[in-house]
Structure 1
């Protein structure tokens, strides 16, 4: 009996100790789980932060690239404007010289033959032509195109017609009215093939045909320049373009 009581007392003393050990193991596992979960979350946050920093760096790099491209575009745009101005000034100067030559050449013929019908007033004709040309010089392409087109209708027998048609085409092209520009370039090139502007008219026509998607016609126009006007500056440009096509 005494022995049974002793065993009972011993078992009662051991059970709380085992329960305490069990509780400690559970607590350790819970702490370890919490620590692991915390570390995983921390790693994810760090990875997210690094990703955001990299994204911010990429955005900043893109902003710098865009700023550089804008600067380059501004430079190229300015260069193009200057090139167009130089080309316009060249043609205006050429036009002035040609008009002087044409006026001197036409005057004796006009004096030798009596006109069959009343001729246009030369003063008005010159005034209207120069008024349209001044619009070209001022860069007012819309008004210049309208002025030269009106001139071709008002003075259908004028010695200025090659120039008027050429300038109408150039002004229309600057206005991005490509189809109409092509019509006047073609009229200049085919109507006055011996005129000094004919090679450049064909070159302008080729530009229009390219933009209109007619590559075959554009190439044919370039080939005409090379075959008809081999010594002209336009022919050199045409050869370069043909070598790339």
Structure 2
């Protein structure tokens, strides 16, 4: 617009100049040519300036357009990245919430399992007391019958300290070696003589607590209670294997049978919990294979 005004001004200048020269009457032909040449030169310079200005304007427009496009791309990339970060944060929040839920469930299951074991132990103690009382009454009855029949009374027997089969009080026999005592206890178990086997295994643990067969003896005590269907007591004895012999070769079997004992008591929750723990800790063991089959039944 400025250039167009300048061109108009130059044209007017040319007309005015010629008019002035003609008016004064002293202008020559050469003067007119000189003035015209100057005007033409100025017009060319203005044209060049106008072309340069137009080129600069086009370049500026192109730069502005490029900047706008780059800005749009940057804004789009920012929106995409922001959306991705928002989605990631939501996923992390959900994962944290799930982990918290799992931790709370694990705490609840462990607390319930502990309470169940404590309750079972209390019931077992009550059963043991009842059994002791029943045995005491039975022994007293035997003595009364012996007296009634005129037989020589055998006296009251302290059954809590009675000598297990295979063992002798006093020093009439030499103390058996660990292998001899363990073998005899296992033979009693295999023969179905559970009470005798249990007492022998208990004696073995008392005399040889550091023996390499100590964990086996403890496991067989739990197994005897399991076969007698005294599942509460079996659970407690299996727990001793797990706690006292964590590196022994019977810990997998103890976990498996402990889970089965809970199942037989109708406590599927603790049964499932223990069997899953077995599979998690010993996934390639034969016991884990059996546990997986049982878990399918519990699902």
TM-score (norm 1): 0.49
Which of the two has greater helix per residue? 1
Q: Radius of gyration: which is bigger?
A: 2
